[in-house]
Amino acid sequence: MLAGVVRASREQAGRRRVGPLLGLESMSTDELPTSGNEATRYHLLYDLGCAFSARLDLDQLFAIVTGKCREIMNAEGVAILLHDPERDELYFPWVAERDPEVAERLLGLRFAADQGFAGHVMRTGQAVRVDDVSRDPRFYGQIDRQSGVTTRNLIAAPLRSHQGPLGVLEVVNRADGAAFTDDQLAFLEALAGSVGVAIENARLYAQVKASEERLRAQVGALRREIAARDRFAEMVGTSAAMEDVFRLMDSAANAPITVLISGETGTGKELVARGIHRASERAEGPFIAVNCAALPETLLESELFGHRRGAFTGALADRRGLFEAATGGTIFLDEVGEMPAAMQSKLLRVVQEGEILPIGETRPRKVDVRVISATNRQLEAEVSARRFREDLYYRLTVFPIHMPALRERRDDIPLLADHFLADAVRRHGKAIPGIEPEALERLRAFDWPGNVRELQNEIERAVALTRAGEPIDPSRLSDKLRAGAATAPGTPAAGTPPAEVPRPATSAAEPAGAESRPRGLRDARAEFEARFITEVLRAHNGNVSHAAQALGLSRVMLQRKMKEYKLR
């Protein structure tokens, strides 16, 4: 969390006017004596304490603190070192050095938290004064070798918080060659106390802000999800192809595995992702869907990973990305094959390392998010054409699920049509008793290039065109269906029942030859219902309980209908 609070500052504070910032309206850095006068030091300490209590943005303030401390201590360098608990290392977020090149190198250095005087001070919680570092076994010379500085003497004090040690405030090399005094060490300890309180306050404030931003991002994502919610209430299908999909979904839900859902547009890939999320251990967490093809490259990175204030023109405030908003849940990357090459490498880092790097940040953040992606492209071909990263492809396709096109599961069309009809009837407030057999056969015969979504639109249109109390007949279908377009090879012609589906036995009360004569709507509906029940029973290998569940009937009601239509 400290990484989000503190940033390396390269500003040289020595010649800046800092009186207004510290509450010293008329005092500049040049007007503050650097002779080590005790009254001046403690006057500055008081003003710094007041400034710390009033400010939570530490970047500029700590750059000034290190600069002023260097002047008052008459030192060559002052640094604030902070502890990274994840890596158990110390690093330099703020440095004031006489040599700007040395400062630049120090800002990029990290070392183990148990090394050197800084490590000793942080471990023991005791300030130290070392008059000749070359004679002290605690001296860690690697920092001097990497930065180019030669450390002669130093004083260092611990930065503390209620949660534990934060780091160290360190002053190196008196400019006049003398050793530091006990008074200067006492001043540094007092100053370190104020610095520690300021960092702790800023950290707590950052935690609250991060929670607020994450909640705001989640609420925004949920609002977008509700506004553009998938129009399917649930997944519908009893075909063998869909049974395979359901089986794979169950397996994916029970494992924290990366899933890639492939299939044509409109087959319901997002519905599969939502189903996996709802059935997984992350069901209580957020589900956030992102269409990678809908956002330009310039916005996609900020949307996914967030940004720091000032990272680019228009970045007026820090913003958490959708990966952080999805913490504890699932992020669904739709049309991942459309992702630009530059973004693919950043996504690989998330999938591989569980880390994101917001725009303008220098240190990555850990995220706990499950990634499910989807594409309507052949990603193998994209990899071969070098338009998609091979390493990312293998990371995303750990568990592939293919959604069949609607023309590959024609047995599901009656179920889907009935499902969409029920939804449309509720929305339109119109009583539509059903779909005529001939219209249903035309639905079954069509190839549906737009898949399930196109079928839903067709039913919606037909309901709008049909008068209340009448069933949907072929005249209410669109021109492409009325013309019998795109009839699949081997599919029965419109109006002709499938040859392999046996007709229900003719009732004894029905005169011979009745099948060849036009009959009323009730008889036609009964014939369709009997055929449809026969198909569903066959799809479930005669299992009455499973068929009843697929039909939305009780087992008793299905048995009655089977008896009525002599299907036993």
Q: What are the pLDDT digits (tens) for 7-20?
A: 333 333 333 333 33
Long-range CB contact pairs, 226-231, < 8 A, 24+: 230/268, 230/270, 230/271, 230/274, 231/423, 231/453, 231/456
> Which residue, 404, 403, 381, 394, is CA-closest to 258?
394
Is 210 among the domain residues? no
Strands 110-112 and 89-97: antiparallel
Of 361, 381, 404, the residue at which a domain comes to its end is: 404
Has residue 218 been placed in a domain? no
Per-residue pLDDT tens over the stretch 326-374 = 999 999 999 999 998 888 988 998 998 889 888 888 788 899 999 999 9
Claim to verify: residue 249 and residue 178 sit in the same structural domain: no
Residues 362 and 452 in one domain: no
What are the pLDDT digits (tens) for 57-114? 667 677 777 888 888 888 999 999 999 988 999 999 888 888 888 888 898 899 999 9
> Per-residue pLDDT tens for 402-424?
999 999 999 999 999 998 999 89
Residue 410 to residue 181: CA distance in whole angstroms: 88
**Cβ-based neighbours of 484, under 8 Å, separated by 6 or more:** 442, 445, 493, 494
The pLDDT of residue 53: 58
pLDDT at 170: 94
Residue 422 shares a structural domain with residue 444: yes
Q: Looking at 379-388, 462-471, 485-494, which range is the least confident one?
A: 485-494
Domain boundary among 384, 404, 424: 404
Domain housing 438: 408-564
Average per-residue pLDDT in the chain?
Answer: 80
Pairing of β 259-262 and β 89-97: unpaired
* Domain-embedded: residue 213: no
Count Cα neighbours of 411 within 13 Å in the Cβ-side half-sphere: 19
**Are residues 379 and 421 both part of a single domain?**
no
Report in angstroms the alpha-carbon separations of 15 from 11, 18, 59, 99, 199. Answer: 10, 9, 17, 15, 25
Does 223 map to a domain?
A: no
Environment class of 518 (CB within 10 Å of its CB; exposed 0-12, middle 13-18, buried 19+): exposed
- What residues contact 518, with CB distance under 8 A and at least 6 apart? none
Q: Among 57-61, 157-161, 260-264, 347-351, whose mean pLDDT is lowest?
A: 57-61
pLDDT at 232 over 60: no
Average pLDDT over residues 198-204: 80
User: Do 359 and 498 belong together in one domain?
Assistant: no
Q: Please state whether 243 falls in left (phi above 0), alpha (psi between -120 and 50) or beta.
A: alpha
* Selection from 301-305, 408-412, 554-558 with the highest mean pLDDT: 408-412
Mean pLDDT of 227-232: 40
pLDDT at 567 (0 to 100): 81
Q: What pLDDT was estimated at residue 555?
A: 73
* Higher local confidence (pLDDT), 45 or 384: 384
- Does the reported pTM lie above 0.85? no
Of 404, 436, 452, the residue at which a domain comes to its end is 404
Q: What is the pLDDT of residue 223?
A: 52
pLDDT in tens, 89-105: 999 988 888 888 888 88
Q: Are residues 256 and 186 in the same domain?
A: no
Q: Is residue 221 part of a domain?
A: no
Mean pLDDT of the region 446-450: 93
Q: How confident is the model at residue 401 (pLDDT cuts 50, 70, 90)?
A: very high
Question: For the chain, how many structural domains are there in total?
Answer: 3
Q: What was the pLDDT predicted at 90? A: 93
- Look at residue 225 and tell me if it is in a domain: no
Question: For residue range 475-515, what is the model confidence (pLDDT) as tens digits?
Answer: 999 988 877 544 433 344 333 343 333 444 444 334 444 44
What pLDDT was estimated at residue 117? 93
Only one residue has tokens 């539509």, namely: 432
Average pLDDT rounded to a whole number, residues 509-538: 67
CATH number, residue 104: 3.30.450.40
Average pLDDT value for residue range 431-446: 91
In a domain, 219, yes or no: no
Distances 265 to 83, 268, 398, 539 between C-alpha atoms, Å: 50, 8, 22, 26
Gyration radius from the chain CA atoms: 36
Q: Tell me which residue of 230, 235, 228, 233 sits closest to 404, measured CA to CA.
A: 235
Q: Angle between the 437-445 and 451-465 helix axes, to the nearest 10 degrees?
A: 150
372 shares a domain with 360: yes
**Same-domain check for residues 275 and 182:** no
413 and 381 part of one domain: no
Stretch among 135-139, 253-257, 546-550 having the lowest mean pLDDT: 546-550
DSSP helix/strand/coil, 204: helix
**Are 268 and 314 found together in one domain?**
yes
Does some domain include residue 212?
A: no
Mean per-residue pLDDT, 370-390:
93
CATH code, domain with 388: 3.40.50.300
Shared-domain flag, residues 150 and 254: no
CATH number at residue 484: 1.10.8.60
pLDDT of residue 501: 38
pLDDT band at 54 (very low <50, low <70, confident <90, very high): low
CA distances from 219 to 224, 225, 248, 296, 325 (A): 9, 10, 31, 23, 9
For residue 8, the model assigns a pLDDT of 36
Q: What would the mean pLDDT of 152-162 be, rounded to a whole number?
A: 92
Residues 303 and 199 in one domain: no
- Name, of 55-64, 227-236, 556-565, the range with top average pLDDT: 556-565
